[in-house]
Structure 1
Amino acid sequence: MTTLYLRELEIAQLAVQRAAQLTKRVFHETAKGTVSKDDASPVTIGDFGAQALIIAALRHNFPADAVVAEEEAAPLRADPALRDRIWELVRSTKLEDVGAEGLLGGGVRDVDAMLEVIDRGGSKGGRVGRVWAIDPIDGTKGFLRGGQYAVCLGLLVDGDVKVGVLGCPNLPVDDAAPLTADIGANQTDDEGRGVLFSAVVGQGATSRPLGPGALKEGKKIAMKAVTDMASASFCESVEAGHSNQSDSAQIAQKLGITKPSVRMDSQAKYGSIARGAGDIYLRLPTSKTYQEKIWDHAAGDLIVREAGGQVTDTTGARLDFGVGRTLANNKGVVAAPAAVHGQVIKAVREVLKL
């Protein structure tokens, strides 16, 4: 087995685990189930704080690597109160809480360094070199409602995803736990919840419990073989604005799928189908002009493919992460076990009249 990217994998897992601990703290101390989204909302605080922690770890270990991330520090420079609130959160998130001291570096030394670290996420991406793609909180509304969200980190090398890590604090640890209708809400991190998914190209995909301290022992995961499409399950976004749910229903009907879709936020959907809790993930275009962001798909794309699945757009083309910060060459996402992916794509193309 190749040993390429094992150091990157370890650092990425520890960085995501540390950032996930920060987001959990933000939810329990601040969110209280609210779904407001103003500039000082819990998700804003968690986004900036988690991004600062992850980029600080990457800068310490891979200083020459570029970073593509969602946030920039300009709003914090304009709002000292918010800046100081986030700094206090970052400062008090201890390295030793995730067994990372000495591996992730000394953290962020002061508030100015925090702002500078956040701004390192402005790379334009592209087909050349090493680029890390970060979504510090993927699934804003899922996070706020106590449902599903993910801390996401992927390493692209010359436009291809080589390492992917997803921290999903509210998913069941049990890989065999099926997707349920209530998975999208009121699933806060009780005992038995919190999963860290990871994959390295050519080395398969793994899940392990997500928590404080050193990395827990992982185990290999694989997509479930779909032998009867009528018994298959598919998941899609909670928000109708993120995926065309009426088209999804028609595709499911055409495939003979009888179960209702499971709606959940974030790349937790990728992790769920990768370990066989679900079978198919559909994200269908709602706009001709919208372009998916690479940080919303890079880690999940690799994890599903390494678990025995296939991930393409609605035309059957692989996702192209080398264009820049968006998937400008793709429309929508279809993820399914490799053996039935062609069948799913055929139904997608017929319904969407491609």
Structure 2
Amino acid sequence: MDSPYRLELSVAIGAVQAAAQIARTVQAAHLSSSSSSSQQQTGSSSSSNDTHIKEDLSPVTVADFAIQAMLTAKLREAFASDGVVGEESAAALREIGSDGAALLAAVVNVISRCTDSDAPVLDGEAVCELIDYGVADADPEITGADAGRVWVFDPIDGTRAFLRGEQYAINVALLEGGRQILTVVGCPLLSADAAAPATVADGDVDPSGRGCLLFAVRGYGAYARPLLLGPGQGEEERETRRLARHADGVSVDGLRSVTCWKHLDSGVDEAHEAVAQRLGLSFPGCDLLGWVPRWAVLALGLANVTVWVYKKRSRHGKIWDHAGAMLLFEEVGGLITDVDGRDIDLTKGRKLTANFGFVAAPRSVHHIVLKAVRDTLRAQGKQKLLQQ
């Protein structure tokens, strides 16, 4: 891709590839440890120092912390004046006691193992400072319309699936004035060659082991290529393909769904299913826990519609689950709004407080899908979820 953002794209791709190496290393060690613990279990409960449970009950692993530190380091080194918004906080690593110390030691160790030999060695305090750099810069103004360039990333999206050895993604986005400019998404377990009419679920793993890297620059299209090189390949031989604008001109009969079916408490499952029935769609279609993997399959054309209605109007999406990754679908002809039909507003900080839910579909039929969502909520007596 030849665009004004060649340097940014190159740095972000390199950072995501390095992040994927950390993720693969941690996932393999976690699964091996879990298997050994299961075999040795004698009825007593066991714990692992590679997982921490956040206050919102989502698991954070060594990989999340290590990748956020590494991404921050690489992006700050290349673009020192840019802002950074990351998902994680180093608070758990700073906890006094054996748990915090063990977790921090594991994070430092995996960074050391997966980093180039000529890179500076990071100690525990340096790692914590890098992780918290993205938190300190994440006040609402950092992504505002008057803000400059801001990098937003999710180290591991789909952590619960990651811990099971299933689909997850690494998301890096560049915003300018709250507008998506560039994205790089790494899906280490998703095949870059996956194509419709195939569907993908969390447990479906790329048999080649090469994974998928997707990237896009606004107005320059979306691309996919294997995350890892094949046997005997050099970098110049890595196959890269521009993704067709498959969402252009799609009719309702051509819609294919991606969702997360009965795995999250935040969404209204019965509404999602009823919308699909109203539109005549096979449901659930692709079924993925993480939002970034869902945006990835929408870009690849494995699906072309997704709907998400939260159970409460007070619930909002988080910027790192959507910023940048949404651009992949937009660059193949998709249109994304919330349930009220409003454009997704990325200028409000860490949470998308100006929006409620998501409706993503080919531009040609988005209005039909949006009407189906709103008609379904009324028919189910859920008018309180609609903007009055």
> Contact 1:223–1:275 at 8 Å: present in 2 too?
no
From 84, 94, 114, give the equivalent of 2:127.
114
Task: Please report how far the alpha carbon of residue 173 of structure 1 lies from its aligned counterpart in structure 2 after TM superposition.
Answer: 2.0
Task: Please report how far the alpha carbon of residue 224 of structure 1 lies from its aligned counterpart in structure 2 after TM superposition.
Answer: 2.9
> Contact 2:30–2:163 at 8 Å: present in 1 too?
no
Task: Please report how far the alpha carbon of residue 169 of structure 1 lies from its aligned counterpart in structure 2 after TM superposition.
Answer: 0.9
From 184, 203, 208, give the equivalent of 2:202.
184
When residues 2 and 173 of structure 1 are mapped into structure 2, their CA distance, relative to the original with a 3 A threshold, is: closer
Alignment map for 1:302-317 (pairs within 5 Å): 302-317=327-342
Instruction: State yes or no: 1:94 paired with 2:119.
Output: no
From 56, 70, 94, give the equivalent of 1:53.
70
Provide the rounded CA distance (Å) in 1 between the counterparts of 2:369 and 2:80. 42
> Contact 1:34–1:145 at 8 Å: present in 2 too?
no
Higher relative contact order (CA 8 A, sep 6+): 1
Alignment map for 1:34-183 (pairs within 5 Å): 40-41=50-51, 43-78=60-95, 79-95=100-116, 106=119, 109-122=122-135, 123=137, 124=139, 125-127=142-144, 128-176=147-195, 178-180=197-199, 183=201
Q: Which residue of 2 aligns with 1:219?
A: 241
From 214, 236, 261, give the equivalent of 2:285.
261
Provide the rounded CA distance (Å) in 2 between the counterparts of 1:265 and 1:116. 30
Unaligned runs of 5+ in 1: none
Say which is worse superposed, 310-319 or 282-291, in terms of deviation: 282-291
When residues 2 and 316 of structure 1 are mapped into structure 2, their CA distance, relative to the original with a 3 A threshold, is: farther
From 278, 293, 318, give the equivalent of 1:293.
318
Counterpart of 1:244 in structure 2: which amino acid? V
When residues 85 and 243 of structure 1 are mapped into structure 2, their CA distance, relative to the original with a 3 A threshold, is: same
- Secondary structure, counterpart of 2:211 in structure 1: strand
TM-score (norm: length of structure 2): 0.82
Alignment map for 1:262-277 (pairs within 5 Å): 262-266=286-290, 267-277=292-302
Say which is worse superposed, 278-287 or 302-311, in terms of deviation: 278-287
Provide the rounded CA distance (Å) in 2 between the counterparts of 1:38 and 1:335. 38
- Secondary structure, counterpart of 2:346 in structure 1: coil
Say which is worse superposed, 139-148 or 46-55, in terms of deviation: 139-148
Paired residues in the alignment total 344
Counterpart of 2:50 in structure 1: which amino acid? A
Provide the rounded CA distance (Å) in 1 between the counterparts of 2:235 and 2:344. 33
- Secondary structure, counterpart of 2:213 in structure 1: strand
When residues 228 and 163 of structure 1 are mapped into structure 2, their CA distance, relative to the original with a 3 A threshold, is: closer
Provide the rounded CA distance (Å) in 2 between the counterparts of 1:142 and 1:135. 15
Q: Which residue of 2 aligns with 1:17?
A: 17
Q: Which residue of 1 aligns with 2:369?
A: 344
When residues 119 and 214 of structure 1 are mapped into structure 2, their CA distance, relative to the original with a 3 A threshold, is: farther
Q: Which residue of 1 aligns with 2:258?
A: 235
- Secondary structure, counterpart of 1:298 in structure 2: coil
Say which is worse superposed, 286-295 or 24-33, in terms of deviation: 24-33
- Secondary structure, counterpart of 1:64 in structure 2: coil
TM-score (norm: length of structure 1): 0.89
When residues 9 and 192 of structure 1 are mapped into structure 2, their CA distance, relative to the original with a 3 A threshold, is: same
Provide the rounded CA distance (Å) in 2 between the counterparts of 1:108 and 1:339. 52
> Contact 1:53–1:108 at 8 Å: present in 2 too?
no
Task: Please report how far the alpha carbon of residue 217 of structure 1 lies from its aligned counterpart in structure 2 after TM superposition.
Answer: 3.7
From 337, 343, 346, give the equivalent of 1:318.
343
When residues 38 and 56 of structure 1 are mapped into structure 2, their CA distance, relative to the original with a 3 A threshold, is: same
Task: Please report how far the alpha carbon of residue 34 of structure 1 lies from its aligned counterpart in structure 2 after TM superposition.
Answer: 5.5
Task: Please report how far the alpha carbon of residue 32 of structure 1 lies from its aligned counterpart in structure 2 after TM superposition.
Answer: 4.2
When residues 193 and 203 of structure 1 are mapped into structure 2, their CA distance, relative to the original with a 3 A threshold, is: same
Unaligned runs of 5+ in 2: 36-45, 53-59, 379-385
Once superposed, what is the RMSD of the aligned Cα atoms?
2.5
Say which is worse superposed, 155-164 or 335-344, in terms of deviation: 335-344
Instruction: State yes or no: 1:327 paired with 2:349.
Output: no
The structure having more radius of gyration, on CA atoms, is 2
Provide the rounded CA distance (Å) in 1 between the counterparts of 2:48 and 2:368. 43
